[in-house]
Amino acid sequence: MIQLVTVSREYGAGAGEFAALLGAALEWPVFDRVIGEHAAAKLGATLDAVIPVEEREDSYMERLERAFSLGPPELIGHSPLPARSWTEEVYRVESDQIRAIAESPPAVIVGRGSQCLLRGRPDTFHLRLYAPQADRIARVAQRTGWSRERAEKMVRSLDAARQRFLGTHFGCGEDLETLYGLTINTSVIAIDRAVAIVRQIVRGQS
């Protein structure tokens, strides 16, 4: 019986709209932005401080700066481990929340490595939404009012960051696609139709 649906997505593929409609169709709670809001509250920060570091890893320069903050290179091996970076703190809190959500199903969970955190659970259906990059850029530009150049930069940046995030924190690499029970091209299948398909799958196995 399916009690959890995770929604992995490319940026601009329409996952926010899809998850909201699927939650309404199934009458299940949807966990997307609220995960970031919970992390912000837990860490005593604003949501604006959390969103930029969600689903990303520290850059090489950030890791290097943390290492050298311990002292000269020859002393680093003898120094205590540094405190977690802000990115790592957000990752830890959000991952803990996703595990807690999964203990009280049903739920629709969007992104943040949920498909990797919950892989292997027989009650979980993993779904991925994607679309051609040009379509996603146009969708982001229309939704935000950004220039095409800015939308393209954001799409490319977030796609790459999310891929690195999954590989670094969860070891989801070459076998990532095998996690999904279904992948949907939202440029071919409209969001409302995609919702109907997934609802039928979930209800058919409930």
The residue extents of the domains of the chain are 4-204
pLDDT of residue 78: 47
> In this predicted model, which residue has the larger pLDDT, 170 or 74?
170
- pLDDT tens digit sequence for 39-63: 999 999 998 888 887 776 554 444 4
- pLDDT tens digit sequence for 180-204: 999 999 999 999 999 999 999 999 8
pLDDT band, very low/low/confident/very high, at 75 (cuts 50, 70, 90): very low
- pLDDT tens digit sequence for 1-32: 999 999 999 999 999 999 999 999 999 999 99
What residues contact 198, with CB distance under 8 A and at least 6 apart? 5, 22, 125, 127, 182
- pLDDT tens digit sequence for 85-130: 878 888 899 999 999 999 999 999 999 999 999 998 999 999 999 9
pLDDT of residue 161: 86
pLDDT at 71 over 50: no
DSSP, res 129:
E
The span from the CA of 15 to the CA of 24, in Å, is 14
What average pLDDT does the segment 160-185 reach?
Answer: 83
Q: Tell the burial category of 68 from Cβ atoms under 10 Å away from its Cβ (0-12, 13-18, 19+).
A: exposed
Candidates 3.40.50.300, 3.40.50.80, 3.40.50.150, 3.30.450.20; correct CATH number of 4-204? 3.40.50.300
